[in-house]
Structure 1
């Protein structure tokens, strides 16, 4: 179900199964083509990450610029009362605080989460790649699935029994006896 909901992954699988069925390509050629496509997919998927990371890196500098401008404005009122001067200096410091807040409390957690999600999505493609290559190199489907299963993180990897059970009873459907 997870694979079928992901249109891009489904298209990836269909494209390479089609190449395997045609039968003219060798496994190392298909692997090189898959690697190139995976690099392109990852590059495209990481564009928002890089853009927001640049913003995150620049917010503290923008905050410093705001503080300097605020101090310059405060210096124009140097002869005013301490209350007015204090208010202007406080306003200048808000710029620094805002830059740091936006960088470290908003953008940095966001880019970290984007990277985690994109890497997890990329892992699905690697699992498919390993499975298809194993099948293409002559492994029976059950063994090819094991190649794919072994590329899953040990913390998330289903047991071989769970994979077999899912293969025998896809989607957990109960069959009438």
Structure 2
């Protein structure tokens, strides 16, 4: 919602201010299709040239993700803390029974209590692979922590590819606008024998290229890339919460303390309060 409001406000303020200052939209609308073809086409072409198929495939879903917002919120952090609490309790009480939940999480009665988490393959795999390592006596907390850190860092790098690609496009758009403007100047110089009124319109049309490149870069594409990056960082913080709880569990801390370590690992604006987590755990125990 805020993204759409931002776009409408940007266009309204820029073009509304131009018109109120006495500018004529005819010059812009006349040149806009040709300038957009040159600048937009070159931007898309360079985007295809500089990125692999995976980034291109995820670009449109990434743009939609920027408008939809983050997937994980405060309530989801509470849910994953409850899930991990149950799994760690079971790992210590009955490791053999835990294997059933780890090997087939889709059929697990514990995982099925948290359908939103169960739908996320990365979260489920992160949890099950780590718990499987514990069952194989691969219980050196520092080795597991290093493994999880490298795995999450790889997830972060992959998740940020589209945002970085859009930022690179934003960086290129002003220069592409200059290219279009130079072509407009070349066209104007070829018609130097025309009267001043005609030359003025041609120069104005050429400057539309510079305007369009800068406007698209700093008014649309760069903010979109930044927004997508912020959304991805918020979602990736969810996996840091999972990592913190699992590592605390490997250090043989009390299960409640493991949950508190995970709660503290969540970003402040996504961190459930201590009381909220305690109430959620109490409700979960009552339901069990």
State the SS of the aligned residue for 1:8: helix
Give the C-alpha shift of residue 155 in structure 1: 3.1
Q: Tell me the distance in 2 between the aligned counterparts of 1:164 and 1:5.
A: 25
Q: Deviations over 1:46-87 (max 9, x none)?
A: 110111111000000000111111111101111102222112
Q: Deviations over 1:85-140 (max 9, x none)?
A: 11211110110111011101111111111111111122111111110000110112
Aligned positions, number: 172
Q: Tell me the distance in 1 between the aligned counterparts of 2:181 and 2:245.
A: 56
Q: Tell me the distance in 1 between the aligned counterparts of 2:164 and 2:190.
A: 40
Structure 1: gaps of 5 or more residues: none
Is the counterpart of residue 127 in structure 1 residue 244 in structure 2?
no
State the SS of the aligned residue for 1:169: helix
Name 1:104's counterpart in structure 2: 218
CA contact (8 A) 2:174 2:213 kept: yes
Q: Tell me the distance in 1 between the aligned counterparts of 2:231 and 2:124.
A: 18
- Bigger RCO (CA 8 Å, 6+ sep): 2
Name 2:190's counterpart in structure 1: 76
State the SS of the aligned residue for 1:129: helix
Q: Deviations over 1:138-168 (max 9, x none)?
A: 1122110100011122333211110011122
CA contact (8 A) 2:139 2:250 kept: no
Name 2:263's counterpart in structure 1: 149
Give the C-alpha shift of residue 169 in structure 1: 2.0
Structure 2: gaps of 5 or more residues: 1-113
Name 1:4's counterpart in structure 2: 118
Name 2:274's counterpart in structure 1: 160
Name 1:25's counterpart in structure 2: 139
Which deviates further from its counterpart, 22-31 or 3-12? 3-12
Name 2:163's counterpart in structure 1: 49
CA contact (8 A) 2:170 2:222 kept: yes
Q: Which aligned pairs between 1:84-103 and structure 2 lie closer than 5 A?
A: 84-103=198-217
Is the counterpart of residue 118 in structure 1 residue 232 in structure 2?
yes
Name 1:39's counterpart in structure 2: 153
